[in-house]
A and B are shown apart, each in its own frame.
Chain A
């Protein structure tokens, strides 16, 4: 169990830093591959949302240089980044992942979107083979824990999502949303969700602009809206009272001069920009204009943070669930850690036994079935008796901190370590690495 995690989130890093580390969805598979190719890393997965970037790995020795990976990959100097990073290992890493998936680490505690985002990140990494046995188990468990937290506590109930806060803010500006127009720039899931909320509150028409025109058409159809070509964005945008923007553009696409144009064409009627993109799509100077209101993802979250106070109590209960789940997972993991050793030890002895029986057969010639059975029972009995104590010791040691030492000793005594590394070269023994998960399910 050598989980290692590095990351930053809305608490540790401001939006400006998170912007630099945000990984576009399309590039995620490549970055996952790079991650697993990095020295010391066996499995890796990246969760990149607007609130956090988390690099979760299973390493060879628990001492992989994840900071180095971040510096290399994002071409950032350590002093720019390091102050905002947190690093967790083993138990702490497990706990962190459980908390993230259960939405306890979210700014809006209990919001439901994060679980979906983690699941997507997991699927992406799995698809490129960056997630295998260890992380697979960790995340399967994390999803189960998240579900348990959701059903057993009220943390997620009356969840104040970003979308509903956006609606509330829009109402503070426009009063009623009846007849207001919404412009979606960048057909993302979050913006779709926000638009859905706005339509449910009476917004009239929806415009959608996207770099890929087809996606704009697709989303527009869902809302009975109108797709706009990206080139026409600035000419048509003033028709909207509310603009939800979430493009993957590296620079702001709405700047102050655009705002001035919109306002003059709209006769100064107010406009509300909901900028859920990271990096931001609306330049901060835009908010200087009278009549233009810009809320970026951090602002929206701050607006909702006041609503979460009453959820703190439920969050405490959720934390208790997490703690017990972390312990359970750890215990199971450690048992699983010794299982390959036990299996290869049994395999090893079985091979010896078979070889010895063959030699006896060669010397004694044909034996009667009774004799065969007697020898079989005798040899098996000896091995089982001899191995009983070592295996029990291994299993009990697994639950304690000395597990790795004991496993090491056993492997060295029986010369098992080579076998577990080059398992594929030895057909009869089978690969403990491969069998691990199977053993896990059998137990």
Chain B
């Protein structure tokens, strides 16, 4: 049943996806509103789907697909928070496609929950998952914002008349969105990694730093910290910040992909 709701959500997110592509080429307030409503409706379905999962009695989030579903939902939540504060749908250009992709993968098929079977401290695991996913969502947002920043900066530099009527918010607003997501995401990411370590320690009694999942996660965290530091210390933004954000995002993707071949972070029982 949960999967059905998720597929409803996916259909709604699809409208958002179309909007993302259209918004790149032209501005349409009407379409932006439609996409926003569709996305909100999608979130309702999505939420129902997640609640059903939760009510099913197990901590099923620890399945890889449900994890993706949760990540998509959190990203959308972030997007909505930003919309409420800044009244702009433009981050959707980046967020909608990612959310759509995550939801799509999550809704293809259901797979059994396995990781929880041999984890001893389930509460820590729940904390780990929620924290780290919030961190991921924030990272997605700040990555999106840094891309939008580049686009807007280029438009302003190119002195196109269109820059006056573009769908993008002001440069400094984009910058704030990115920086705030970054600042908000960092503690979540850090705590998420710490709780993850606790889970690993209590389960295996040690942390294998050579495991690709852990290695990539640490790399991602290091880049994340570098981003926060360069921004705080010397106000890096624009091109340099975008390079770092892309790097962090790539590391995050790799860390996520590592789920499929990490020895300790497998969802599937060996």
List residues of chain A with CB under 8 Å of any chain B CB: 165, 168-169, 171-176, 264, 266-270, 287, 290-291, 293, 295, 299, 302-306
Smallest distance from the beta carbon of A18 to chain B beta carbons, Å?
Answer: 18
Asked if B156 contacts A293 (CB within 8 A), the reply is yes
Complex: A172 Cα to B176 Cα, angstroms: 14
B237 sits at the interface (CB 8 A): yes
Inter-chain contact A295/B171, CB cutoff 8 Å: no
The smallest C-beta distance from A307 to any residue of chain B, in angstroms, reads 8
Question: Which B residues have a C-beta under 8 Å from some C-beta of A?
Answer: 152-153, 156-157, 159, 161-164, 166, 169-173, 176, 234-240
In-complex Cβ contact of B161 among A176, A266, A269, A306 (8 A) = A306
Measured in the bound complex, the distance between the Cα atoms of B160 and A169 in whole Å is 11
22 A–B contacts from the bound complex (CB under 8 Å): A168-B164, A169-B156, A169-B164, A172-B163, A172-B171, A174-B170, A175-B169, A175-B171, A264-B234, A266-B235, A268-B235, A270-B171, A270-B172, A290-B153, A290-B237, A293-B156, A295-B159, A299-B159, A302-B161, A303-B163, A304-B161, A306-B164
Select B240's contact among A176, A290, A303, A304, beta carbons within 8 Å. A290
On chain A, the residues within 8 Å of B162 by CB distance are: 306
Q: Which residues of B contact A290 (CB under 8 A)?
A: 153, 237-240
Q: In whole angstroms, what is the CA distance A171 to B176 when docked?
A: 15
Residues on B with beta carbons closer than 8 Å to the beta carbon of A168: 164
Task: Decide if the interface of chain A is mainly helix, strand, loop or mixed.
Answer: helix
Q: Are A267 and B170 in contact (CB under 8 A)?
A: no
- Bound-state CA distance A143–B156 (Å) is 38
Which of A169, A267, A305 has the most CB atoms of chain B within a 10 A radius of its CB? A267
Give the 5 A-B residue pairs with the shortest CB-CB distance, closest first.
A267-B235, A175-B170, A268-B235, A306-B161, A175-B173
Contact of A303 among B161, B176, B238 (CB under 8 A): B161
Contact B161 A305 (CB under 8 A): yes
Given contacts A290-B239, A293-B157, contact A172 B164 (CB under 8 A): yes
CA gap between A330 and B159 in the complex, in Å: 43
Q: Which residues of A contact B170 (CB under 8 A)?
A: 171-176
Extra 18 A-B pairs, beta carbons < 8 Å, given A174-B172, A268-B238, A293-B157: A169-B156, A169-B163, A169-B164, A172-B163, A172-B166, A172-B171, A173-B170, A264-B234, A268-B234, A269-B235, A270-B171, A290-B153, A290-B238, A291-B238, A303-B163, A303-B164, A305-B161, A306-B162
Instruction: Kindly report which residue of chain B lies nearest to residue A264, judged by CB atoms.
Output: B234
Q: How far is the CA of A219 from the CA of B235 in the complex (A)?
A: 33
Number of A-B contacts (CB under 8 A): 62
| Shortest Cβ gap from B53 to chain A (Å) | 39
Selected contact of A302 from candidates B156, B157, B159, B240, CB within 8 Å: B159
Flag if B169 contacts A267 (CB, 8 Å): no
Q: Is the CB of A287 within 8 A of B157?
A: yes
> Which of B166, B172, B173 gathers the greatest number of chain A CB atoms within 10 Å?
B172
CA distance A269 to B169 in the complex (A): 17
CB-contact partner of A173 in B156, B235, B239, under 8 A? B156
Q: Which residues of B contact A304 (CB under 8 A)?
A: 161
Cα distance A347–B216 when bound, in Å? 107
Tell me how far the C-beta of A204 lies from the nearest C-beta in chain B, rounded to whole angstroms. Answer: 15
Q: How far is the CB of A289 from chain B (nearest CB, A)?
A: 10
Residue numbers in B under 8 Å from A176 (CB-CB) = 170
Question: A268 — nearest CB in chain B belongs to which residue?
Answer: B235
Q: Which residues of B contact A295 (CB under 8 A)?
A: 159
Q: Report the nearest B residue to A300, measured CB to CB.
A: B159
Please name the residue on chain A nearest to B170 by beta carbon. A175
- Which has the most chain B C-beta neighbours within 10 Å: A169, A269, A270? A270
Complex interface: chain A residues within 8 A of B172 (CB):
173-175, 270
Closest to B86 in A: A175
Closest A residue to B174 by beta carbon equals A175
On chain A, the residues within 8 Å of B238 by CB distance are 268, 290-291
Nearest CB of chain B from residue A258's CB, rounded to whole Å = 18
Given known pairs A295-B159, A306-B161, the reply for A267 and B171 (CB within 8 Å) is no
Q: In the complex, what residues of A have CB within 8 A of residue B159's CB?
A: 295, 299, 302-303
A175: B residues at CB distance < 8 A:
169-173, 176
Cβ of B237: which chain A residues have Cβ within 8 Å of it? 268, 290-291
**Complex alpha-carbon distance, A66 and B236, angstroms:** 55
Contacts of A302 in B (CB 8 A): 159, 161
Q: Which A residues are CB-close (under 8 A) to B164?
A: 165, 168-169, 172, 303, 306
Measured between C-beta atoms, what is the minimum distance from A14 to chain B in Å? 15
The smallest beta-carbon distance between A39 and chain B, in angstroms, is: 44
Task: Tell me the complex Cα distance, A269–B234, Å.
Answer: 9
Chain B residue numbers with a CB within 8 Å of A173 are: 156, 170-172
CA distance A290 to B166 in the complex (A): 20
Residue of B156, B236, B240 near A172 (CB, 8 A) is B156
Measured CA separation A176–B152 after assembly (Å): 16
Nearest CB to that of B152 among chain A residues? A172
Chain A residue numbers with a CB within 8 Å of B239 are 290
Residues of A within 8 A of B240 (CB): 290
Whole-angstrom distance between the Cβ of B240 and the nearest chain A Cβ: 7
> Chain A nearest CB: distance from B223 CB in Å?
19
Shortest beta-carbon distance from B166 to chain A in Å: 8
A168-B170 Cα distance, complex, nearest whole Å: 10
Shortest C-beta distance, A297 to chain B (Å), equals 12
Known interface pairs A293-B156, A303-B161. Does A174 touch B171 (Cβ–Cβ under 8 Å)?
yes
How many Å lie between the Cα of A169 and that of B156 in the bound state? 8
Chain B residues within an 8 Å CB radius of A267: 234-235
B85 → chain A, closest Cβ, in Å? 12
| Across-interface contacts of B176 in A (CB, < 8 A) | 175
CB distance from A73 to the nearest CB of B (A): 33
- How far is B3's CA from A343's CA once the two chains are assembled, in angstroms? 103
Give chain B residues whose Cβ lies under 8 Å from the Cβ of A299.
159
